[in-house]
Each structure stands twice: as structure tokens, then as C-alpha cells.
Amino acid sequence: MAKLAGKVALITGAAGGQGTADARLFVREGAAVLLTDIDEAAGRRLADDLVREGGRAAFRRHDVADEAQWQAAVAAAQAEFGGLHILVNNAGTIARQGIVDTTLEAWNRTIAVNLTGPLLGMKHAAPAIRDCGGGAIVNISSTAGLTAHDDAAYTASKWGLRGLTKTAVLQFSAWNIRVNSIHPGQIADTGFFQSGGPAFAHAARTAIPLGRQGLPMECAELVLFLASDEASFISGAEIAIDGGYIAAGTANLRNRVRRDFEAGRN
């Protein structure tokens, strides 16, 4: 049986990268999916493709920093598909500015999208999920929510989302809603990956013990698991999906530097 048969999901930031992978996998596993994004053209193309392939999908333009748009998105999922069981807070942005260089505009927009957006999503989606008997929320954080990152606003927002997830567990468990966060590292074929440039990608790959970037579908498989009944006793988890970077990235780099030093000295 399909893992999400009979479920309705709302996925933000669904027009590209990991969000698209999530949407395709959810539809394949039987879910009806409301896709939201600020990229209306790409979002509508994806929804049309999924419907042509036999899935149940619809698109709505949605700025996650706007509370009224959240209310409308949740209402649209209910009207289109009859309820809501799953929320994936995937939409995100990054400024790539350090503390000294950060503009207030970039700081405010990053926090608005990456942290206020998921807050508003849970505020308005959780009661709808409760009314359908419960379900799951998956917040897409980052390894920047587990360790340091050069972008000040991005790091603050992702650490904040990690903490907000814990508060949601405390407040929504009585509604039979599980809430977890995942923390992707370098994931290829995403806008975030491309915005870092080739030098950043090379350095990150060098630090990853598995020696490669991840793929959007690898993240999607984890999101699917956490959204499905297979994860029925998992709530409040923070799962790094990063090729071992958080666990052993520093030691991996140290070992490489040591080997290079010894080879050079010999």
C-alpha cells in the first residue's frame, strides 16, 4: 500500500529543488498535495505535470511570511482535498552575509521566510491537522541549525527553527501531531547549492566523510518517512542528513590535513 494513501499534504517551497522532490514522492506514495511557492510559473508547471501523471495536486502562490496567505493556503488544501494531515515547512532563503556585512533588510527577510514562515504555518495548519485526527509536521532546518555557518541570518533562523520544533512537540502532541526537523547539509541540484559557487561546493564536499553532496530525493525519502505512519513514535527528532558532516566532518578534515602533511614531509 502507498505510504501516504488518503493523506493530504501542504508543501511550501515546492517549485524547485528539494520541495519538488518531496512533492513528486508524496504524490507517488498516494498523497494529495497542495504545492506552494512564490515562483508561480514553476509551481503551476509542476502541479500540471503531477496531475497529468495521474496524481492529485494543486498549486497556490504563497509568501510564507504573510499570515493571511497562510490562512488562505490551509483553507485551499481543505477545500480542494477535504482536509490536511501533513505540513512540510520547506520554503527557505539565504543571504550569504556575515555579521558585519548583514543588512537589516536581508536579516529581516531571512528570518521572516525561514523562521516566521514555519511559525505561521504551524499556527494555522496544526488545528486543521488536529481536526483530521492528527498527522505530522516536518520542518526543514539545516546543518546550519546544528553548527556554525557564515551566513548570520540563515544560521540564526535555522537554530531558531530547531528550537521552535521542540515547542511544537510540547504543544501539539496532545493533538496527535508529530513534529520533527531534518538538517540537510550540501544537497546538489538546489538553488542553495548553486548560490554557494564552485569553491564553496568543493570545500564542503572535502569535509563530508562520504565524499559527495546529497541529492534532493535522498532528503525527500527522509521527509516521507517522518510524514508517514512508519514514524508513528518519532517526534522531536532532529536528523542530520549530511553524509556524516556534523558527526565527523572536523575529524575527517583533520585526518586529510595530517595525511597531506605527512606526505609532503616525506
**Active-site amino acid positions:** 154
| Residue carrying C-alpha cell 531558531 | 160
Residues with Cβ within 8 Å of 193's Cβ and at least 6 positions away in sequence, in order, are: 186, 187, 201, 213
- CA atoms of 87 and 73, how far apart (whole Å): 11
Q: Output the CA–CA distances (angstroms, integers) from residue 102 to 9, 56, 107, 156, 193, in the order listed.
A: 35, 42, 7, 12, 20
Assign 21 to helix, strand or coil: helix
End-to-end CA distance of the chain: 60
Residues with Cβ within 8 Å of 138's Cβ and at least 6 positions away in sequence, in order, are: 86, 87, 88, 89, 179, 180, 181, 182, 223, 226, 227
| Residue carrying C-alpha cell 498549486 | 59
Which three cell numbers mark 218? 535522498
The number of residues in the chain equals: 266
| Residue carrying C-alpha cell 494543486 | 58
- 96 in Cβ contact with 151 (< 8 Å): yes
DSSP bridge pairs for 58: 34
